[in-house]
Amino acid sequence: METKRWSVDDSKPAKELIMEAAEYIKKGKLVAFPTETVYGLGANALDSAAVDRIFEAKGRPKNNPLIVHVRDIKMAKSLVEEWPESAQNLAEEFWPGPLTFVLKKGKKVPSNLCAGGETVAIRMPANKIAQMLIEFAKVPIAAPSANRSGKTSTTDSIHVLEQLNGKIDGVIEGGLTKCGIESTVIDLTSRPIRQLRPGPISLSQLELVLDESIEYQPVVIPSSIKSPMKSPGMLERHYQPDKPLRVFSTREEMLEYLKKLPDGYRYAILSREDVFKNQRLGGEPHLHILSDDPKQFSMLIYYHLQIIEKEDIQEIVMVLPPDQQKWHAVRDRLIRASSN
Ligand code: TXA
Ligand code: MG
């Protein structure tokens, strides 16, 4: 199939183009679009055939449920059996924004969207294009990240097309996404409330609003994984760049490894600072430097990984950012990206 492209200025999106994309959604077609986190692969959430096509286009296992994007709280309420006070309080504080709630699913939500489970994940995106698309389509939009299953999420329409061109009906090209990593996901049906995926909204920001503590088990470096994560989607291999990513806990460990690399061994170093300046490293390093600020780093990490993986290299190496809350979302993605 040919993938239609709508090129849109995200500060002043052209209404007619987004209306055309919304018509596609209404007809059960697949349209990728920018959100403030990453690009989403959208379809009418209430149309189970359209939802099936999302799973097909992504090659996503059917046991991994999708997130539904809504325009307002009213639309969110229409999708759930219960809208608890916790959801109301968090929505008032953080919506529209990068925070997803897992709630008890309502009757009109197709069961394939929820992978046959009793809950549904919902968020209200902050991106103007995403908001207009839902508004014009007049339906909630199911949208997982717009990537092939197991590959890196996309933060730019070029990368969406690299992975999904010919497999989806259209893409709204709205520039680089602002957060660069996926939303925080919390399960509001469990007691205590659990964070299933760390993201741009931190655990302490959530706890401040809820006035209770949230359970969270950070992912650890694979060799020491003790028990599987409980969120269905967290079980799979996730966020894998095309070249192996090797992560180290400390700079010293990494230097130790790099010094021993043989001549001709080509690799990329993804670094938060130019800490390798006066070091003698083995092999042929290509250096990529990202910001040492967690927000800036998050914004560009997937973008860089997708560029680096196309280089003529054998692997990517990096030191993980410190085990501090402000880095948890990024650590989570990098540890997953490095596991195989
Ligand atoms: O920022 C985001 O959340 C992006 C943009 C497009 O909104 N979307 C996104 O979707 O990251 P996806 O499908 O790539 O990740 C959704 C995560 C998966 O790990 C999935 O397993 C989990 O949320 N999830 C979805 N529904 C769930 C449910 N009912 N219970 C538990 N986890 C759920
Ligand atoms: Mg994803």
192 lines ligand 1 (CB under 6 A): no
Write the CATH number for 149: 3.90.870.10
Whether residues 128 and 193 share a domain: the answer is yes
Residue 30 lies in a domain: yes
Q: What is the pLDDT of residue 67?
A: 98
Write out the two tokens for 316: 């990517």
Q: Could you give the CA distance from residue 187 to residue 140 in angstroms, rounded to a whole number? A: 20
- The residue whose CA is least distant from atom 6 of ligand 1 is 40
User: Cβ(76)–Cβ(91) under 8 Å?
Assistant: yes
Q: What is the pLDDT of residue 50?
A: 98
Q: What is the pLDDT of residue 219?
A: 82
120 lines ligand 1 (CB under 6 A): yes
Whether residues 184 and 262 share a domain: the answer is no
Between the CA of 66 and the centroid of ligand 1 the distance, in Å, is 5
Whether residues 92 and 190 share a domain: the answer is yes
Q: What are phi and psi of 41, to 5 degrees?
A: -105, 100
User: Cβ(37)–Cβ(198) under 8 Å?
Assistant: no
Q: What is the pLDDT of residue 17?
A: 98
Whether residues 186 and 261 share a domain: the answer is no
Could you read off the pLDDT of 254-293 as tens digits, one per residue? 999 999 999 999 999 999 977 677 788 999 999 999 999 9
Domain of 324? 245-337
Whether residues 127 and 8 share a domain: the answer is yes
The residue from 210, 234, 260 where one domain ends is: 210
- Whole-number CA gyration radius for the chain: 20
Residue 195 lies in a domain: yes
Q: What is the pLDDT of residue 229?
A: 40
The residue from 210, 227, 261 where one domain ends is: 210
Q: Could you give the CA distance from residue 192 to residue 74 in angstroms, rounded to a whole number? A: 26
Whether residues 20 and 108 share a domain: the answer is yes
Residue 273 lies in a domain: yes
Write the CATH number for 321: 3.40.50
The residue from 194, 210, 226 where one domain ends is: 210
Q: Which residues of the chain have pLDDT under 50?
A: 224-233, 235-236
Secondary structure letter of residue 135 according to DSSP: H
- CA–CA distances in Å: residue 97 to residues 9, 218, 225, 250, 326: 20, 22, 31, 33, 17
From the CA of 234, give the closest atom in ligand 1.
19
Neighbours of 231 (CB within 10 A): 17
Q: What are phi and psi of 264, to 5 degrees?
A: 85, -5
Give the ligand at the shortest distance from the Cα of 179: 1
Whether residues 171 and 30 share a domain: the answer is yes
pTM over 0.85: yes
Whether residues 179 and 290 share a domain: the answer is no
Whether residues 275 and 148 share a domain: the answer is no
Ligand 2 (single-atom ion) residues, CB below 5 Å: 145
From the CA of 185, give the closest atom in ligand 1.
23
Between the CA of 117 and the centroid of ligand 1 the distance, in Å, is 14
From the CA of 232, give the closest atom in ligand 1.
21
User: Cβ(209)–Cβ(201) under 8 Å?
Assistant: no
Strands (E), the chain: 4-7, 31-34, 39-44, 67-69, 99-104, 119-123, 141-142, 170-173, 184-187, 194-197, 245-248, 266-271, 284-289, 315-319
User: Cβ(33)–Cβ(21) under 8 Å?
Assistant: yes
Residue 217 lies in a domain: no
User: For residue 77, what are the contacts with CB-CB under 8 A and spacing of at least 6?
Assistant: 83
Identify the burial level of 28 via C-beta atoms within 10 angstroms of its C-beta, where 0-12 means exposed, 13-18 middle and 19 or more buried: middle
Q: Which residues pair with 186 in a beta bridge?
A: 101, 195
Could you read off the pLDDT of 176-224 as tens digits, one per residue? 999 999 999 999 999 999 999 999 999 999 999 999 999 998 887 765 3
Whether residues 197 and 261 share a domain: the answer is no
Residue 304 lies in a domain: yes
From the CA of 40, give the closest atom in ligand 1.
6
Whether residues 150 and 258 share a domain: the answer is no
145 lines ligand 1 (CB under 6 A): yes
- The residue whose CA is least distant from atom 12 of ligand 1 is 144
Give the ligand at the shortest distance from the Cα of 236: 1
Residue 220 lies in a domain: no
Secondary structure letter of residue 37 according to DSSP: S
Residue 253 lies in a domain: yes
Q: Could you give the CA distance from residue 232 to residue 96 in angstroms, rounded to a whole number? A: 25
Between the CA of 236 and the centroid of ligand 2 the distance, in Å, is 11
Domain count, the chain: 2
Give the ligand at the shortest distance from the Cα of 148: 2
Whether residues 144 and 257 share a domain: the answer is no
Write out the two tokens for 221: 């470096």
Residue 191 lies in a domain: yes
Question: Which of the listed residues 35, 39, 67, 104 should we mutate to test ligand 1's pocket, taking the one with most ligand atoms within 8 A of CB?
Answer: 67
Q: What is the pLDDT of residue 263?
A: 95
